[in-house]
Amino acid sequence: MSGDPRTVVRKFLARPQHEGAGAVVRRSIGRFELKYFDPFLVLDEFSITAPAGFPDHPHRGFETVTYMLQGAVTHEDFEGHKGTIEAGDLQWMTAGRGIVHSEMPASNGTQKGLQLWINLSDRHKMIEPRYQEIASTNIAEASEDGVTVRIIAGESLGIQSPIYTRTPTMFLDFTLEPGAYMQQPVPESWNAFVYVLEGEGVFGKSRSSSTTAHHLLLLGPGDRLMAWNKSSKMLRFILVGGEPIGQPVVQWGPFVMNTQEEIDQTIQDFENFENGFEKARYWRSEATQ
């Protein structure tokens, strides 16, 4: 690698806030200090205990990536697609022209996970909805010198995820043993961030300070991330990068388009059950009945 390692340019502590129906999320991307980090719209570390959850709601114009950390979430949509996302499982949902679904706790106790919202370019915003779902046991994993990486999207240690990312994206789940060090290439033209899940780590070229759980680190220019675990406990974090789309973003809750007129049309489509929302007219999820 001929370029420079990336440095940490901004650091945010994601504090709990209420979302959905009684759900608690730690929102890092999508909060007022960081409304949009192209192509990323939202990063939520969510925690839900029944009866709280995310009952019937729509999406248009982007993708949701749900990666379970603890427990399980049951999802069902207006096309009859339903299932349970267990701990370690991945659901990559391309809402495209429109999805209406519910995402609710699948069992008692607290369900925890991450949900990342990835914007779609204008040419993909109205494509047919699609799911890519991988069970935990089928998620590619590699280990080397005290570093274990689960390849959710993109490539690491010579292993490529099967997930097709319309907006080119990498999503890697790293665990470093005490004393371990990692280096991961990141395309120089991509925006990239780290979100710490557990432990304490030192990130970036300057190795200035350590970072603990629930913190998001925006990375500056460079061709790779370096990280160290100088603590006596395990360090776990995700490294996410994406190719900026560079188009206008007009968002109204779960609708993300390029112009206000397209948002007005989307709201009309949803209210009139048209242009992709036809099946929302009579559908209600079982989870919320």
Ligand X SMILES: Nc1ccc(F)c(C(=O)c2c[nH]c3ncc(Cl)cc23)c1F
Which residues contact ligand X by CB under 6 A? 19-20, 25, 44, 46, 54, 57, 66, 73, 103, 115, 253-254
Q: Which is nearer to ligand X, 71 or 222 (CB)?
A: 71
Distance CA 172, CA 264 (A): 36
How far is residue 187's CA from residue 210's CA, in Å, rounded to a whole number?
24
| CB-nearer residue toward ligand X: 28 or 148 | 28
CB of 114 to ligand X, least distance (A): 8
Instruction: Compare residues 129 and 254 and give the one whose CB is closer to ligand X.
Output: 254
CB of 54 to ligand X, least distance (A): 4
Residue 289 C-beta: closest distance to ligand X, Å: 18
Least distance in angstroms from the C-beta of 152 to ligand X: 16
Which spans in 246-286 are helix H?
Answer: 260-272
Q: In terms of Cα–Cα distance, which of 140, 165, 138 is closest to 65? A: 165
Q: Which is nearer to ligand X, 52 or 235 (CB)?
A: 52
Q: Are 58 and 79 in contact (CB under 8 A)?
A: no
Residue 19 or 200 with smaller CB distance to ligand X = 19
Element (H, E) at 203: strand 200-203
Q: Which residues contact 109 (CB under 8 A, 6 or more apart)?
A: 49, 71
Closest CB 56 distance from ligand X, rounded Å = 10
Residue entry with tokens 């989307």: 266
Nearest distance in Å: CB 5, ligand X? 31
CB atoms closer than 10 angstroms to residue 128: 9
> How long is the chain?
289
Of 233 and 284, CB closest to ligand X: 284
Q: How is residue 263 written in tokens?
A: 């948002």
